[in-house]
Structure 1
Amino acid sequence: LETAYVGHVCLTWEALHSQYTQLGQKISCNPENPTCYNQCAQQYQQFQVLLQRFIENEPFEQGTRVEKYARSRNSFSKLLQVPNVQGTCSNAMEDEESDYRVLAPDLLKLVEASILTFYAFLRMDKKKAGGVRNLFGSQNQMATPLQQVQSVAEKKVLKLKELRKKKSFKKRSWPGTHDEVELLFSLMDAKVVSRVLRMAKITKEQLLWCEDKLRKLHLTDGRFQRDPSPILFPC
């Protein structure tokens, strides 16, 4: 159950990042594009509402995060399901006689809001004391590689948090510069990796995935560089 949850979290982040990037590229290439995204906007609003509802209800529900997620998915199948960005031509919208048109820049704002809500979701998935970690399905076997990756992850998280403080980074509002956006995405990458490393059972392939993700975050002399290319999580 935990593997399914963590896999879905990883996939959701990759999908959100991909949709944000693709939409941003479309806007850059054609700022005056008349394509309308009304239906897609509704889907992103639903994505955000379901996620926000989960965040608000979680403190009052019993069980672990994974158990709460499983119950919520049974009730709301679209929880953490990222909409695919698809638009319709302006002529089609005229036929529907819509009073309001959602253009690409408007949709981008909704995607940004969804990313911030997902970041809040990640931050609330906190470490529980007393958990037993198994690597490759065994309690003591090959503990050293896991500890090494955890150490690298913790160091990078600390450096990213230091950079966040220097930039007066606000968690609940969208960053104002490209560098700050990349810092936000790096923090989210690190959060996702940290969650994978907290799994009760982690396979060799999943540990290698964590290593690959961490290698894409380069932090030296107070500067950072992030490789945005996606890596699918091995469930």
Structure 2
Amino acid sequence: MARKRLLKSIESDFELVYVAQLCLSWEALHHQYIKVKNLDTSGVRNRRFHDNVAGEFQRFQVLLERFLEDERYEGKRVWNFVRGRFALKSLLQVPKLSGFVAEENDEEVERNVKQVLRAIEKCTEAFWVLVQTDRNQKLWWKLTTSLWSFSPVEDPRDVDLLSHLTRNLQKKEIWFKDFQGKKKCRFRKGIRPVVEESEKMEMLFTMIDMKLVSRVLQMSAVSSSQLKWCQEKLDSIHFNKGKLFRTGSCRLFPDS
């Protein structure tokens, strides 16, 4: 019995490390995307990224895809992550954007920035697959409040907040599916045959945000500060008049 409790405690600690790294990696990746997207939109002149920047993000994408491929033959995600980090320290470590070098050819500058932007977009798509396929989750949200005798909250006073966040997440997931359905319907009717690339990315960002909130709420132990982080994430997602509005959240995921 004591051994079982010890293993459960160790797994809970590793789960926190995994989820925290997942959330922090996403914030870093999203920040890098916004930074490069702004450069692409503003039309940077006479400067380009170092040659290896796009390659670093491509390697990050390959590591994510290789991790998922290996996981098909392994067990729980948390333990796979622990083994993966022992084998490769750079797993889930988002590359940095290095400085610029001088470049007089404007076409080369534009091509370079777009290449980096596309590499980050590919990483984002791979990251979505990573969070989407995290199946080793405890479905606390399926329990009614009367059955939450094994609630994951560290502070019993947070039970109501957990219940509220769970319902809010479910509502936003439903609204998002409805939003997606309307987009597909418009596409079929030819009202709007092409959805803007920026809108597609915002939809992808929203899906990742909601999936991460879901993962945090399903941890074996959730602190008050982590619940507040989830609340801020959900409050930043709005649906109004058939449009998706998403405001950025600057607060990093708390480790306690």
Which category of TM-score, normalised to the shorter sequence, fits these structures? 0.7 to 0.9
Alpha-carbon distance between aligned partners in 2 of 1:149 and 1:36, rounded to the nearest angstrom = 41
Q: Over residues 133-169 of structure 1, what are the superposed CA-to-partner deviations in whole Å (9 max), with x where a residue is unaligned?
A: 410166xx64222111111011101211222233249
Distance 1:107 1:33, change over 3 A: farther
Aligned residues: 218
The equivalent of 1:108 in structure 2 is: 117
Structure 1: stretches of 5+ with no match in the other structure: 92-100, 170-174
Structure 2 partner of 1:96? none
Tell me if structure 1 keeps the 8 A contact 2:137–2:219. Answer: no
Report the identity percentage.
32
One of 30, 34, 39 as aligned partner of 2:43 = 30
1:201 deviates by 0.1
Shift of 1:42: 1.9
- Looking at structure 2, the residues matched to 162 and 184 of structure 1 have their Cα atoms a distance apart, in angstroms, of 15
Q: How far is 1:31 from its partner?
A: 4.4
Do the aligned partners of 2:233 and 2:249 also contact (CA within 8 Å) in 1? no
Single out whichever of 202-211 and 78-87 deviates more from structure 2: 78-87
Instruction: In structure 2, list runs of 5 or more residues that go unmatched.
Output: 1-13, 104-109, 141-149, 186-194
TM-score, with structure 2 as normaliser: 0.78
Q: Distance in 2 between matches of 1:113 and 1:190?
A: 19
Aligned counterparts, 1:5-154, within 5 A: 5-62=18-75, 64-90=76-102, 103-126=112-135, 128=137, 133-136=151-154, 142-154=158-170
Give how far 1:27 is off. Answer: 1.7
Poorly superposed stretches of 4+, deviation over 4 Å? 129-133
Distance (Å, rounded) in 1 between the aligned partners of 2:245 and 2:36: 22
1:85 partner letter: L
Deviates more, 1:141-150 or 1:196-205: 141-150
Shift of residue 5, structure 1, vs aligned partner: 0.7
2:172 to 156, 173, 184: 156
Q: Which has the larger radius of gyration?
A: 2
| Alignment partners' CA distance in 1, 2:230 and 2:74 | 30
Alignment match of 2:231 (pick from 211, 220, 223):
211
Q: Deviations over 1:24-83 (max 9, x none)?
A: 111222244441332212211111111000111112102x21111111111111111111
Report the TM-score when normalising by structure 1.
0.84
Q: Which has the higher helix share?
A: 2
